[in-house]
Amino acid sequence: MSITQQTLNRAQASVMQNYGRAGVVMVRGQGCYLWDTDGKQYLDLFAGFGGSVLGHAHPALVEAVTRQAQDLWHVGNALWTLPQIEFAERLKAHAFDGRAFFCHSGLEANEAAVKLARLYGMRNGSNRWKTISFLKSFHGRSLAMIAATGNPAVKEGFGPPVPGFTNVDPLDWDSVLRSIDDQTCAIIMEPVQGEGGINLYPPGYLKKVRQLCDERDLVLIFDEVWTGCGRTGRWFAYQHEDVVPDIMTLGKAVGGGLPVGVMYARTDLAGLFTPGRHGCTLGGNPICMAVSRTIFDLIEKENLLEHASALGERAVARLRKASSITDKVQDVRGRGLFLGIELRAEPIDFINKSLAAGLITNLTSKKVIRLAPPINISESLWDEGIDRLIRLIESV
């Protein structure tokens, strides 16, 4: 029996099977490459759902972790630590004037955002506590976030949904308007829907939602868990449009693969989280914060936003022009290095074929191939990856 098979047998016997995992076990990563227990090399075009935004074992991140681990590992949030403050300053420099709350995951950041919006809606004796979210959205797996998520499959079997969330079709503007009542306090949306299939809104749509929130005094929450931290070629995806949210949530890339979530709120709103209102014991721990700070410094120093934009545009153009796959491909879309290739038909056994070809890719919504490589992937490796992907699509 191969080492891989032995390891998979151990996994079957000890780890929950709540993910549809592929039958490989990864043991090493370097840059944009991964290696499995059999020594097979893979080109990583998905970066662990975008988490490994600067690839694997980046020397500067390894150094940041190592140094911080030697200095200070954890003290808890009853005390201040420098890395947390320094990273919050980086966020402020690149986003809007606000304050950061740190946790471990995207869903926790969204929970914190909804709680803060409720505090806003309930202040001065008002009774506004409901949040509107959109169909095909994804906001996390907690009981409240499955209620926010606009996909019935994630709610199935978990009993009555947590009250206070209405999922509406974002493109049916009348139903968006109808869904708001005098108890509504917030709208939460992803600037580009990730799990739903890399869905971009029509130009001007974010601005329209911003205006609606202004008119109705609603808190606008942009869930940038997928799209934040350079993934789309800007620091945050809202910066592609002339809009600023009241709250932005981050996850995935913000920790470079370590568990970091951020709820970043406009300063006056942030003030509603007075001491004791919300918390997270390990949130913002020094090691994670040292990594997040270093990621932001590297994105800036190495001009990775421009790089991600340019590589993304180039790949979209190439994939759209590739005549050998026009019969297979319905649409190519995305922003920066957050790309979706929608196939005309559901491919059979796509992920195993991708792995056999030495490529890490992902499939969402049954027929949308998703790419989210490390944003520092070199031009030549990215071109090679797209060539190999085209050959893979030809074969499915």
User: Residue 226, interface with ligand PLP (CB under 6 A)?
Assistant: yes
Structural contact between residues 374 and 387, judged by C-beta atoms closer than 8 angstroms:
no
Number of residues that bind ligand PLP (CB under 6 A): 15
Closest separation between CB of residue 355 and ligand PLP, Å? 21
Residue 84 or 105 with smaller CB distance to ligand PLP: 105
Member of 103, 114, 225, 389 binding ligand PLP (CB under 6 A): 225
3-state secondary structure (DSSP) of residue 249:
strand
Residue 37 or 151 with smaller CB distance to ligand PLP: 151
**b or e along 294-322 (b: 16 or more beta carbons within 10 Å of the residue's beta carbon)?**
bbbebbeeeebbebbbbbbeebbeebeeb
Residue 285 or 325 with smaller CB distance to ligand PLP: 285
Closest separation between CB of residue 381 and ligand PLP, Å? 25
**x-or-dash pattern for ligand PLP, window 184-203, by CB under 6 A?**
------x---xx--------
Q: Is 331 a catalytic residue?
A: no
Closest separation between CB of residue 340 and ligand PLP, Å? 13
Any residues with CB less than 8 A from the CB of 72 and at least 6 apart, and which?
81, 286
Taking residue 94's Cβ as centre, other Cβ atoms within 10 Å add up to: 18
Any residues with CB less than 8 A from the CB of 32 and at least 6 apart, and which?
43, 44, 45, 55, 56, 373, 374, 377, 381, 385
Residue 113 or 341 with smaller CB distance to ligand PLP: 113
Catalytic-role residue among 134, 138, 165, 296: 138
Distance of CA 142 to the CA centre of its chain: 16
Q: Is 138 a catalytic residue?
A: yes
Closest separation between CB of residue 35 and ligand PLP, Å? 25
DSSP-H helix ranges across 19-148: 59-71, 82-94, 106-122, 143-148
**x-or-dash pattern for ligand PLP, window 273-312, by CB under 6 A?**
----------------------------------------
Site for ligand PLP in 26-85 (CB under 6 A): 49
Closest separation between CB of residue 335 and ligand PLP, Å? 14
Member of 47, 223, 295, 350 binding ligand PLP (CB under 6 A): 223
Closest separation between CB of residue 127 and ligand PLP, Å? 27
Residue 176 or 188 with smaller CB distance to ligand PLP: 188
Residue 36 or 108 with smaller CB distance to ligand PLP: 108
Site for ligand PLP in 332-391 (CB under 6 A): none
Using CA atoms, how far residue 18 sits from 15, 158, 273, in Å, is 9, 15, 34
Site for ligand PLP in 101-140 (CB under 6 A): 105-107, 110, 138-140
Catalytic-role residue among 46, 236, 252, 350: 252
Catalytic-role residue among 36, 223, 296, 350: 223
82: buried, middle or exposed (CB in 10 Å: 19+, 13-18, 0-12)? middle
User: Residue 246, interface with ligand PLP (CB under 6 A)?
Assistant: no
**Long-range contacts (CB closer than 8 Å, 24 or more residues apart) made by 90-94:** 90/292, 90/293, 90/296, 90/297, 91/262, 91/264, 91/296, 94/235, 94/236, 94/296
Radius of gyration of the chain (CA): 21
How far is 357 from 392, CA to CA, in rounded Å? 7
How far is 309 from 235, CA to CA, in rounded Å? 11
Q: Is 217 a catalytic residue?
A: no
Provide the Cα torsion 359, 365, 366, 369; round to 10°.
-30
Q: Which residues belong to the active site? A: 138, 223, 252
Which chain residues interact with ligand PLP by CB under 6 A? 49, 105-107, 110, 138-140, 190, 194-195, 223, 225-226, 251
